[in-house]
Structure 1
């Protein structure tokens, strides 16, 4: 199996898992936060969705700079999040499909201006910087669901609610 094929499979599964969580929340939940230092549910959900889009926005570049290439996603509704995720999947699939196999081993840099955060191959970037990062924040989102007494979907097997 090619690197691209494995990333396409993972992309599809992780996008579907995020969609399952978005299906559980309503616009009334978006402003809720478990603690004053925490992101609101809407901010956290938007961050998870925007991380999916980094496949098409960050991976094709050799350097992704937070100061020039990143704009936090601002949303007004759950439907908007679902639409962004759905459309993003199409663009992400095209991005992965069009990236030459040898480019997955090319160096990729994440920086914030002059500060270099990480330097690794693009294959490592998609896994470490994007997928693991969004899984981490999606896990936080499941805790928000639990605290709001919203049934948590099983993402990698059944949950206590299934």
Structure 2
């Protein structure tokens, strides 16, 4: 199996799980934060939504320099718009993944801020660590936010405690 197919299949599967979490976000609590050092619920939701967009950034370039990169953070204020944009970003990432050769995944990619290099890794490792694992990390963080707000947490890889209790 090509790396592209493996990544694309995983992303499609995980995106469906992520949508279940995004659907539960109470937008009237958009500005809520569990701690002064934490992202707000709305910022976290938008960050989760925009992470698939880093796959094209990785595959279409050899580096990202935060001193040069012009990026506008997502700032959706309702679930429907956020989920629609997330799904579109996922489809774009999947299409690009499927067009990428195994050899291209081995090309090196650098993350930097000016002269300071954070890392240089093969694109496959960047997609795994900084795109996919990053998404799962923040989705898990979102599950804690939902729990703290007493919102039933959806199951990711089987029924959640809330779903078991419900029946």
Q: TM-score range by the shorter chain?
A: over 0.9
**1:119-148 deviation line (CA, Å, top 9, x unaligned):** 110110000111111111111110000001
Tell me, what secondary structure is at the counterpart of 2:140?
Answer: helix
Aligned mates of 1:118, 1:105 — CA distance in 2: 15
Structure 2 residue 77 is matched with structure 1 residue 76? yes
Structure 2: runs of 5+ lacking an equivalent: none
Tell me, what secondary structure is at the counterpart of 1:152?
Answer: coil
Q: Single out whichever of 74-83 and 103-112 deviates more from structure 2.
A: 74-83
Would you say the 8 A contact 1:65–1:111 is kept in 2? yes
Aligned mates of 1:137, 1:66 — CA distance in 2: 21
Alignment of 1:4-83 (within 5 A): 4-69=4-69, 70-83=71-84
Tell me the equivalent position of 2:152: 151
> 1:52 Cα shift?
1.5
Tell me, what secondary structure is at the counterpart of 1:111?
Answer: strand
Q: Single out whichever of 108-117 and 63-72 deviates more from structure 2.
A: 63-72
Q: TM-score, normalised by structure 2?
A: 0.91
Would you say the 8 A contact 1:60–1:95 is kept in 2? no
Instruction: Assess, with a 3 A threshold, how the Cα gap between structure 1 residues 101 and 138 changes in structure 2: closer, same or farther.
Output: same
Aligned mates of 2:124, 2:56 — CA distance in 1: 13
Would you say the 8 A contact 1:41–1:144 is kept in 2? yes
Aligned mates of 1:57, 1:20 — CA distance in 2: 26
Would you say the 8 A contact 1:15–1:52 is kept in 2? no
Q: How many residues align?
A: 162
**1:81-127 deviation line (CA, Å, top 9, x unaligned):** 10111111221111111222210111011112222111110110000
Question: Which runs of at least 4 in structure 1 moved beyond 3 Å after TM superposition?
Answer: none
Tell me, what secondary structure is at the counterpart of 2:155?
Answer: coil
Q: TM-score, normalised by structure 1?
A: 0.93
Tell me, what secondary structure is at the counterpart of 1:61?
Answer: coil
Q: Single out whichever of 26-35 and 65-74 deviates more from structure 2.
A: 65-74
Tell me the equivalent position of 1:142: 143
